[in-house]
């Protein structure tokens, strides 16, 4: 973990489950330098945590703001958190 890394938790609302959202997020962030995870929530939203440089985290957030082809993103709520030094990026 670099000292300039940031961590953002994103809660994505809309038609974001059963549309390949988690898997496409894993693919979209591969190679951009973010770590973290993405999972479905019981209330129909998708939750994702991104850690990395501000530019990499912004790129990941830009992806979840629209998601894959069949998704419909209505809102993305974000909360800044303290980085934990996560490694890798996984679907939970």
What's the pLDDT tens digit per position in 50-91? 999 999 999 999 999 999 999 999 999 999 999 999 999 999
- What does the alpha-carbon distance between residue 11 and residue 32 come to, in Å, rounded to a whole number? 20
Catalytic residues: 22, 40
pLDDT at 27 over 80: yes
pTM across the whole model: 0.94
Reduced to 3 states (helix: H, G, I; strand: E, B; else coil), residue 91 is strand
**Looking at domain 6-84, which of 3.40.50.150, 3.30.70.100, 3.30.70.20, 3.30.43.10 is its CATH number?**
3.30.70.100
Contact between residue 8 and residue 61 where contact means Cβ atoms under 8 Å apart: yes
- What does the alpha-carbon distance between residue 70 and residue 48 come to, in Å, rounded to a whole number? 18
Question: Which pLDDT score, from 0 to 100, does residue 4 have?
Answer: 83
Measured between alpha carbons, how far apart are the two ends of the chain, in Å? 21
User: Helices H, strands E: what count in the chain?
Assistant: 2, 5
């Amino acid at each position: 973990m670099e000292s300039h890394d940031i961590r953002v938790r994103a809660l994505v609302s809309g038609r974001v489950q059963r549309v390949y959202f988690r898997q496409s997020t894993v693919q979209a962030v591969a190679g951009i330098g973010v770590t973290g995870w993405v999972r479905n929530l019981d209330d129909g939203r998708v939750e994702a945590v991104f850690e990395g440089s501000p530019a990499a985290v912004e790129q990941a957030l830009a992806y979840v703001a629209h998601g894959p082809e069949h998704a419909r993103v209505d809102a993305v709520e974000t909360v800044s958190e303290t980085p934990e030094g996560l490694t890798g990026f996984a679907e939970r």
